[in-house]
Homo-oligomer: A and B are copies of this chain.
């Protein structure tokens, strides 16, 4: 069950077998069901997830009660609410299981403990933070520079599998538009 995670880590940093073994021993299996909430707004972010199989959605609740999706995470990627994970502050977003998923998670305490004991993990974390920064900045850029139609076209170009794999309702939520608006855009493209 650790094959994908091992490949993911080794693809980013060089580390000894002993260090790798110590690292992997901190990751635990979670079989999560569709629609389950594995992190909830108002609590703290205590786990970081690696996705072996499945899909997660990270979303905020707007002041009017509607949901706004920040991110979808698929196989072979990590997902957490890093702002809360870093600062220990209360979560402002929730994480929902979109397809029944096989996840590996590490507790926040173990994650930070490893930073002090395995130098390669410090390098891994740096690379992880850089990637997370780039992904979020890109998404911010899309929201402040593109209109809904342009955002949909970009999504089609860069992540067509997201449009194919997810229900329209979730794609619309990711673009921050209604399902009706998405239908109009699709029929006009």
What residues of chain A have their CB less than 8 Å away from a CB belonging to chain B? 60-63, 68-70, 82-83, 86-87, 92-93, 122, 125-126, 129-130, 132-134, 136-141, 143-146, 150, 176
The 10 closest A-B pairs by CB, nearest first: A129-B129, A68-B144, A140-B140, A143-B143, A62-B145, A60-B145, A86-B130, A68-B145, A133-B133, A83-B134
Copy tally for this chain in the complex stands at 2
Interchain CA distance A60-B150 in the complex, whole Å: 15
Complex A-B: 5 CB contacts under 8 Å: A63-B145, A82-B134, A122-B122, A129-B130, A133-B133
Which listed residue (B61, B70, B133, B150) contacts A129, Cβ 8 A?
Answer: B133
Which B residues touch A122, using CB under 8 A? 122, 126
A82, B143: Cβ atoms closer than 8 Å: no
Interchain CA distance A129-B68 in the complex, whole Å: 25
B140, A143: Cβ atoms closer than 8 Å: yes
Interface centre among A68, A92, A136 (most CB of B within 10 A): A136
A84 to nearest B CB, angstroms? 10
Which B residues touch A129, using CB under 8 A? 126, 129-130, 133
Which listed residue (B83, B126, B141, B150) contacts A137, Cβ 8 A?
Answer: B83
Contact of A83 with B126 at beta-carbon distance under 8 Å, contacts A144-B176, A145-B60 already known: no
Minimal Cβ-Cβ distance residue in B for A134: B83
A107 to nearest B CB, angstroms? 19
